[in-house]
Structure 1
Amino acid sequence: MASSTEHPATKALLDRMQHSRVEGVAIAPGDDFRYLIGFSPTPDERPCYLLAGFRGAALVMPSLNARQVADHTSLPLFSYADADGPAVALEGAAEAAGVPSTCSRLAVGDSMRADALLVLLAKWPAMRPESASRLVGGLRARKSEAELGRLQATADLADQAMTEAFSACRPGATERDIADAASLAFREGSAEEVCHTIVASGPNSAYPHHHTSVRRLAPGDPVTIDIGCRVEGYCSDITRMAILGDASREYEQVHAVVEDAVQAAMARVRPGVACAAIDAAARTAIERAGYGEYFTHRTGHGIGLSVHEGPYVTGTNRELLEPGMVFSIEPGIYLPGRFGVRLEEIVVVTPTGGRRLSRLTRDVFSAR
């Protein structure tokens, strides 16, 4: 029989399955896999699965990953050689986990490759795949004290990297120079990975997800800096604004509106409030100032092992906040061809409200 208790998250998943209508769960390498057993192999084209069923959980692994994965878990592991393919190993793991041969409802991880899903469909032809996010995502959304400690550590490092990025803002510097300064601070700190370094200057700041370029900064340019890293598996994400020299009156006005939106959204954070209400608070502040059409994205996203995960702070998400949930609040205003402003905080839901992880001010940094 497969072991179901060797990792608390795996046991929690199996418990949740008892109250669902699915007959099995299949998770591919990635952040869900890492959450459930404490480790994830490098994903590639070879099918890898964590299978969960009514007996417990088991693993399907290509031979090149089997020994490394076995060092991190005592779950039954069925390996296969490249020349043989995964069919026999999948059969063994399904039997061990208790996924029935007639399985028609299998929940699969959201990041599973299409070719890996096709292998499962060949094994269970009557299977109707559905998302495993409501099972696994519900577990990941509420962070433990240990997870919150890791998120604080990675947020602290992001604050340091942002300070270095500010220092690199000067006339003639390129967007890549600023991104490199942040990346270096991450690498010299405790980061195991630089997740993203978005630097958008001048009119590029009107693109919410601008691709950092070699554009050189000029006096008067606003600069959006959106960066994040991974520490002990957990991610950070922070956005702040800089400006070269003195800000124009229009820039100051737009920045103040975005700041009002952040404050309005943060004031609504408490257990029992719907994610949609947080989005509405930020959006209403921007709409009342006349910039509603220029706020073109959701207000936020959850963060943890993934930079983007649930809960998603959208106008349609009725999910209620619970203590331990962690998500971004990042409203923005983007004036095409001119400039944009976005400010981002990572917020933890506490029993009485919310608290932010960053210790940095949201005031625009004036680079001289």
Structure 2
Amino acid sequence: MADVAKRLERLKQKMRETGTDLVALGPGAHMQWLLGFHPHPDERPCLLLVSRAGETFLMPILNADGTREDTDISFHCWSDDEGPETALATALSAISADGARSVVLDETMRADFALLLLGALPQPRHAFTAETVGALRMRKDEGEYSLIKMNAGIADEAMQKAFAAIKPGMAEKDVAGVIRAHFSSAGAVTQFTIVGSAGNGAFPHHQTGDRKLQDGDAVVIDIGARKQGFPSDITRMAVVGHPPEGYDQVHAIVENAVRAAMEAARPGVKAKEVDAAARKVISDAGYGEYFVHRTGHGLGIDGHEPPYITAASETVLEEGMVFSIEPGIYLPGRFGIRLEEIVILRAGGPEILSSLPRDVHVVEV
């Protein structure tokens, strides 16, 4: 359960540091992180408004009674026949934000919500949440670690179920079904099941389909589910029978890229340096053009969130951040290999959450 008062105070401190007068969040992940819930999202403007002086909701009256069960923050309600403009003006005045000039907008909120707010303020300058809520969300607390670790354990079990089930003649979608069934049995909601065999594995976001597995296939298995508000994400490799030509060499290169990124990931290092470490291993081995995505992404309430481990990211990594390390090599028409770990960045380096080895799982035929 989020410590709402502590998180609100941390946000207000960030606002003071960044000279921000007002933060406006719509129903979604940022509000979920800050308050531990968010109201039902629909087309009716609903905003959490936070100034350095206080906080309040612009709340559709239809949602007020249900939302009141989750918070004691004040509401400024509006009805369909009145419209939100008057309630918004009153809400801004109540927290001394009716003259706000520096406004942070939730980048995921509806555009009409944002325009309504900006239109109610005198010549506001706006930015998104990277230096306020986003910066705070990147450093997890112990409660978040516990839930992320729990989900990682469930994903490990689902991967093992997939390994045990794979056999020649089985369709990709049937392997995915085994994974989904385990997630469901563990009380988790499946978010994605990428099962890419042979040439399909060369598409990093392959749409799992009807192709049947056969001897000589390399199989990418990238899976994730969500339980108690947090997700999992892991990728491992399987081979049916005899590996395709060149597989072992390419797998070793990707493994070395993972290790290089792990070694580079330390507090105080820029995210782009971690990406560069993985990319150098793959490029030096002659496969640079086949590493077609970033090295990693943050993971928290959202499955993909900052920090992003990209070639251009200037984000300085800090102790407590959670992110993936997942380099890959994708050879069109042949196979793809991706190895993915979720890590918590500790003072001495990454703590890997999965207990599964990154060795290829070989299916006997």
TM-score of the two chains, using structure 2 as the length reference: 0.94
SS at match of 1:320: coil
Aligned counterpart, 2:183: 186
Specify the code of the residue in structure 2 equivalent to 1:113.
R
Stretch deviating more after TM superposition (201-210 or 90-99): 90-99
Alpha carbons of structure 1 residues 89 and 178: separation in structure 2 relative to 1, 3 Å: farther
CA contact (8 A) 1:6 1:73 kept: no
For residues 103-135 of structure 1, give each alpha carbon's deviation from its aligned partner in whole angstroms, at most 9, with x where no partner exists.
333110121122222222332362332111220
Asked if residue 119 in structure 1 is aligned to residue 121 in structure 2, the reply is no
Report the equivalent of 1:24: 22
For residue 80 of structure 1, report the CA deviation from its aligned partner: 2.2
Q: 1:206 to 1:42 in 2, by over 3 A?
A: farther
Q: Indicate which of 225, 232, 238 corresponds to 2:228.
A: 232
Match 2:351 to one of 348, 355, 361 = 355
Q: Secondary structure at the match of 2:132?
A: helix
Q: Deviations over 1:24-76 (max 9, x none)?
A: 11111111100111111232222221111132111122233222222121111
Q: For the residues of structure 1 that align with 2:107 and 2:37, how far apart are their CA atoms?
A: 18
Does the 8 Å contact 2:4/2:34 carry over to 1?
no
CA contact (8 A) 2:222 2:236 kept: yes
Q: Write the distance in 2 (CA, Å) between the matches of 1:329 and 1:119.
A: 40
Q: In the alignment, is the contact (CA less than 8 A) between 2:343 and 2:353 conserved in 1?
A: yes
Relative to structure 1, is the Cα distance of residues 85 and 198 closer, same or farther in structure 2, using a 3 angstrom cutoff? farther
Q: Which amino acid aligns with 1:35?
A: W
| Cα shift at 1:166 | 2.0
Q: Provide closer, same or farther for how the CA distance between residues 79 and 270 of structure 1 changes in structure 2, counting only shifts above 3 A.
A: same
Unaligned 5+ runs, structure 1: none
The residue number in structure 2 matching 1:246 is 242
Displacement of 1:341: 0.6
Query: Could you say which residue in structure 1 is the equivalent of 2:212?
Result: 216
Contact (CA 8 Å) 2:218, 2:244: kept in 1 or not? no
- Bigger shift: 120-129 or 44-53? 120-129
SS at match of 2:333: coil
Residues 52 and 98, structure 1, Cα contact 8 Å, conserved in 2: no
Q: What pairs up with 1:54-73 in 2 under 5 angstroms?
A: 54-73=52-71
Partners of 1:250 and 1:32 in 2: how far apart? 45
C-alpha offsets along residues 152-178 of structure 1, whole Å, 9 cap, x if unaligned? 101001101111222332222222212
Partner of 1:94: 92
- 1:190 corresponds to which letter in structure 2? G
Partners of 2:177 and 2:90 in 1: CA distance? 48
Deviation, 1:6, is 5.0
Q: Distance in 2 between matches of 1:115 and 1:107?
A: 15
Secondary structure of residue in 2 paired with 1:213 = coil
Among 28, 31, 34, the residue aligned to 1:33: 31
- Secondary structure, counterpart of 1:7 in structure 2: helix
**Cα deviation per residue 1:250-292 (whole Å; 9 max; x = unaligned)?**
1111111101100111112222222111111100110111000
Alignment CA distance shift 1:91-1:332 (3 Å): same
Give me the whole-angstrom Cα distance separating, in 1, the residues matched to 2:299 and 2:4: 25
Distance 1:295 1:163 in 2: 27
Q: CA deviation at 1:147?
A: 1.1
Q: Which runs of 4+ in 1 moved over 6 A?
A: none
Partner residue of 2:107? 110
Residues 274 and 309 in structure 2, CA contact (< 8 A), matched pair in contact too = yes
SS of structure 1 residue aligned to 2:212: coil
1:18 aligned counterpart, secondary structure: helix
Taking the aligned partners of 2:62 and 2:199, their CA distance within structure 1 comes to 48
RMSD, matched Cα: 1.6
Distance 1:359 1:70, change over 3 A: same
Identify the residue that residue 148 of structure 2 maps to in structure 1.
Answer: 151
Contact 1:61 1:79 in 2 (8 A): yes
Does the 8 Å contact 1:6/1:74 carry over to 2?
A: no
**Aligned partners of 2:105, 2:223: CA distance in 1, in Å?**
30
Aligned equivalents of 2:83, 2:332: Cα separation in 1: 51
Q: Which amino acid aligns with 2:77?
A: S
Percent of aligned positions that are identical: 46
Letter in 2 for 1:7: A
The 8 Å contact of residues 262 and 330 in structure 1, kept in 2 or not, is answered as: yes
1:14 is aligned to 2:12: yes
Between 168-177 and 299-308, the greater mean CA deviation after superposition: 168-177
Q: Does 1:52 align with 2:50?
A: yes
Q: Which moved more, 1:343-352 or 1:168-177?
A: 168-177
Assess if the C-alpha contact under 8 Å between 1:76 and 1:93 holds in 2.
no
- Counterpart contact for 1:7–1:36, Cα < 8 Å: no
Partner of 1:324: 320
Q: Distance in 2 between matches of 1:330 and 1:305?
A: 19
Aligned to 1:333: 329
Question: What TM-score comes out, normalization by structure 1 length?
Answer: 0.94
Contact kept? 1:201, 1:217, Cα under 8 Å: yes
